[in-house]
């Protein structure tokens, strides 16, 4: 398609004029070059990028692209998509970076080819009711996200998870075969990988035993575990566990209760040695097993309620409900707990505990004039506190950093949460935590959301206090908005995060999208700040309907040490 003397308008205002454009405008998916990409980065210099789109029939396609920067940096990438049958889709993405001059100043990466790959796959209609899902991410170094990601949230990534699983459900039984790898950035040049190769889990949902008021559930699993850390010897062992549970529900119209009896047993093919004087332990190569039981109870009530038939505004009647809630739990002690290797929550290596929690819940429900809509909760207030029934296990602890004096209390801080939902488009949440050891607030948080038609607003403010003096340790504010105009053709989205304590605008982003019947405009500005770093990213693109991007400009700047 050859286009001459084109003027793009927002309403009647001319926005962009082009004397000539030539773009592919075929109705079918066709292989060929895509529109070039132009941009500028303060560190990388100017960039020109070319991409080739290749089709392989109706179910497969690939995009190959290369970007070259004037400072000597070159990137190569590919995206391969497939959907061979209904219910199965997948995408593979790869990016390689050739940085011979090491313009990002990473000494450990000098002269190396840096890279990142991502693979996502989903099959929802396999035989025997099975589902297969894979999400795999790998990379050459953690600095890759900081240097090349356009998403500011990715700059602070310290953990990367890859997993693939095959899952099936049959009645109340389900089974999962999982392969998982979690990589954690410890410090420069040190990465820890925690792997399950593989994990097989079986679960039986709560099932009534005959006609008895007793319900049985079961969880069991087998795990192949590996832990690999830079500069350390690889750890590898196997684990098997089983956890049955019996539940007995009781109750009346004003009081309900449930008692749970649970047990868990686990077997390990390797164990740890006794700690030496420095607290260090090594794997001995000897197997070990453990078993522990627990009991818990939940009581709701006695509940009290009152109905108010006098209406107010859109509501025809109200119902006030008071629900005291009591929770009790007790777990046994694990023998030789210090010898058990710890990997996840399955490895119970703690001492025996006994705890009670009391919650005082107030709920206000409202019913509208329209009887078909039904009633809903518009307001609630919850107060909660836990109590340790073990003298040597206080729930509140504090150590004076100057004198080393220790303070403790058997009770936990008192938590309060207030929720207000006057409409389905308006939410208000307030939560606080009050430390009874020093009679000071630990933290407070306020969040609000409001939707008006296609527009939405959100706000969150969180403050953390010193538990002894009550002085503010940190204060964070977040604002978000999404505004729609001209029947949703023009949309403005903004997000702002501000550190009140340090008077620092940490990050903010602003996006403008304008869509007409035949063309669209996208303008995006993002900025991230810390005490040692500042990143800015500007993106601009124009697209034509059924054709795609015809103009794309990117600009990135980065400052350090300000």
Q: What angle do CA 307, 311, 313 make, to 5 degrees?
A: 135
Terminal Cα-to-Cα distance of the chain (whole angstroms): 49
> Tens place of pLDDT for every residue, the chain, 562 residues?
788 888 877 778 887 788 887 776 666 777 888 777 777 777 777 888 888 989 998 899 999 999 888 888 888 999 999 999 989 999 999 999 887 766 666 555 555 688 889 999 999 988 888 999 999 988 887 777 666 665 545 555 678 889 999 999 999 999 999 999 998 887 767 888 899 989 999 999 999 999 899 999 999 999 999 998 888 888 899 999 999 999 999 887 778 999 999 999 999 999 988 888 777 888 898 999 988 899 999 999 888 889 988 878 788 889 999 999 999 999 988 888 888 888 888 887 667 889 999 999 999 999 887 766 778 899 999 999 999 999 888 988 888 777 878 888 899 999 999 999 988 899 999 999 999 988 999 999 999 999 998 899 999 999 999 888 888 999 999 999 999 988 888 899 999 999 998 888 888 889 999 888 778 888 888 887 766 667 777 888 888 776 666 666 766 665 544 3
Look at residue 254 in the predicted model and tell me its pLDDT.
79
Cis amide linkage into residue 454, ω under 30° from 0: no
Q: Give the β-pairing of 37-41 and 548-560.
A: parallel
The answer to whether 364 touches 420, Cβ cutoff 8 Å, is no
Burial class (CB in 10 A: 0-12, 13-18, 19+), 477: middle
Burial class (CB in 10 A: 0-12, 13-18, 19+), 292: buried
Q: Count CB atoms within 10 A of the CB of residue 507.
A: 19
DSSP state letter for 8: E
Q: Give the β-pairing of 426-435 and 440-452.
A: antiparallel
Query: What does the block give as tokens for 461?
Result: 């403010």
Question: Which residue in this structure is represented by tokens 């006994």?
Answer: 354
Q: Read off the pTM.
A: 0.73
Look at residue 495 in the predicted model and tell me its pLDDT.
92
Separation CA 12–CA 486 (nearest Å): 13
The answer to whether 288 touches 268, Cβ cutoff 8 Å, is yes
Question: Which residue in this structure is represented by tokens 């996840």?
Answer: 344
Alpha-helix runs per DSSP H in 99-255: 143-148, 152-155
Look at residue 104 in the predicted model and tell me its pLDDT.
63
The answer to whether 136 touches 164, Cβ cutoff 8 Å, is yes
Question: How far is CA 219 from each of CA 176, 238, 294, rounded to the nearest angstrom?
Answer: 11, 17, 15
The answer to whether 481 touches 491, Cβ cutoff 8 Å, is no
Which residue, among 175, 160, 164, has the nearest Cα to 90 in the 3D structure?
164
Separation CA 4–CA 12 (nearest Å): 19
Question: How far is CA 515 from each of CA 18, 219, 316, 512, rounded to the nearest angstrom?
Answer: 18, 51, 43, 10
Q: Give the β-pairing of 2-10 and 159-170.
A: unpaired
Query: What does the block give as tokens for 498?
Result: 């501000």
Q: How many residues does the chain have?
A: 562
Question: How far is CA 491 from each of CA 67, 401, 511, rounded to the nearest angstrom?
Answer: 30, 51, 8
The answer to whether 449 touches 457, Cβ cutoff 8 Å, is yes
Per-residue b or e along 184-221, where b marks 16 or more CB atoms closer than 10 Å to that residue's CB: ebeeeeeeebbbbebbbbebbeeeeeeeeeebebebbb
Query: What does the block give as tokens for 131?
Result: 């589902």
């Amino acid at each position: 398609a050859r286009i001459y003397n084109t003027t793009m308008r927002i309403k009647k205002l001319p926005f962009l004029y082009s004397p000539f454009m030539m773009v592919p405008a075929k109705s079918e998916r066709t292989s060929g070059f895509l529109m070039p990409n132009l941009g500028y980065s303060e560190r990388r210099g100017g960039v020109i990028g070319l991409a080739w789109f290749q089709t392989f029939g109706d179910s497969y396609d690939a995009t190959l692209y290369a970007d070259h920067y004037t400072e000597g940096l070159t990137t190569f990438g590919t995206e391969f998509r497939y959907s061979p049958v209904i219910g199965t889709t997948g995408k593979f993405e790869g990016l390689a970076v050739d940085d011979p001059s090491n313009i990002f100043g990473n000494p450990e990466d000098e002269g190396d080819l840096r890279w990142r790959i991502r693979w996502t796959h989903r099959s929802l209609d396999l035989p025997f009711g099975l589902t297969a899902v894979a999400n795999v991410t790998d990379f050459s170094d953690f600095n890759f996200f900081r240097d090349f990601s356009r998403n500011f949230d990715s700059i602070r990534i310290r953990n990367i998870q890859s997993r693939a699983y095959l899952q099936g459900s049959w009645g109340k039984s389900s089974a999962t075969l999982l392969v998982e790898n979690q990589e954690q950035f410890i410090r420069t040049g040190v990465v820890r990988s925690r792997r399950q190769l593989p994990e097989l889990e079986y679960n039986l949902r709560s099932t009534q035993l005959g006609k008895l008021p007793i319900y049985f559930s079961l969880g069991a699993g087998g795990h192949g575990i590996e832990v690999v850390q830079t500069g350390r010897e690889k750890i590898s062992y196997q684990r098997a566990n089983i956890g049955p549970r019996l539940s007995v529900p009781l109750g009346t119209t004003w009081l309900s209760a449930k008692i749970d009896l649970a047990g868990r047993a686990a077997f390990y093919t390797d164990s740890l040695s006794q700690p030496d004087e420095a607290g260090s332990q090594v794997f001995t190569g000897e197997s070990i097993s453990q078993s522990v039981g627990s009991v818990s109870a939940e009581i709701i009530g006695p509940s009290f309620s009152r109905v108010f038939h006098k209406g107010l505004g859109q509501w025809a009647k109200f119902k006030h409900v008071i629900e005291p809630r009591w929770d009790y739990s007790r777990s046994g002690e694990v023998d030789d707990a210090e010898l058990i290797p710890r990997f996840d929550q399955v490895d119970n290596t703690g001492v025996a505990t006994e705890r009670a929690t009391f919650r005082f819940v107030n709920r206000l429900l409202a019913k509208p004039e329209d009887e078909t809509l039904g009633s809903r909760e518009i307001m609630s207030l919850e107060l909660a506190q836990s109590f340790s029934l073990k003298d040597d296990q206080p729930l509140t602890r504090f150590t004076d950093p100057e004198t080393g004096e220790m303070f403790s209390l058997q009770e936990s801080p008192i938590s309060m949460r207030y929720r207000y939902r006057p409409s389905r488009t308006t939410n208000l949440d307030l939560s606080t935590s009050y430390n009874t050891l020093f009679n000071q607030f630990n933290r407070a948080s306020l969040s609000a959301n409001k939707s008006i038609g296609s527009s939405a607003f959100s706000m969150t403010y969180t403050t953390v206090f010193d538990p002894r003096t009550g002085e503010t340790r940190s204060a964070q504010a977040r604002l978000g908005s999404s505004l729609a105009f001209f029947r949703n053709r023009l949309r403005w989205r903004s997000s702002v995060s501000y550190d009140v304590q340090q008077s620092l605008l940490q990050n903010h982003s602003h996006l403008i999208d304008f869509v007409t019947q035949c063309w669209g405009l996208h303008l995006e500005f993002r900025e991230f700040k810390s005490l040692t770093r500042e990143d800015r990213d500007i993106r601009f693109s124009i697209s034509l309907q059924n054709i795609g991007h015809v103009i794309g400009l990117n600009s990135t700047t980065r400052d350090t040490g300000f």
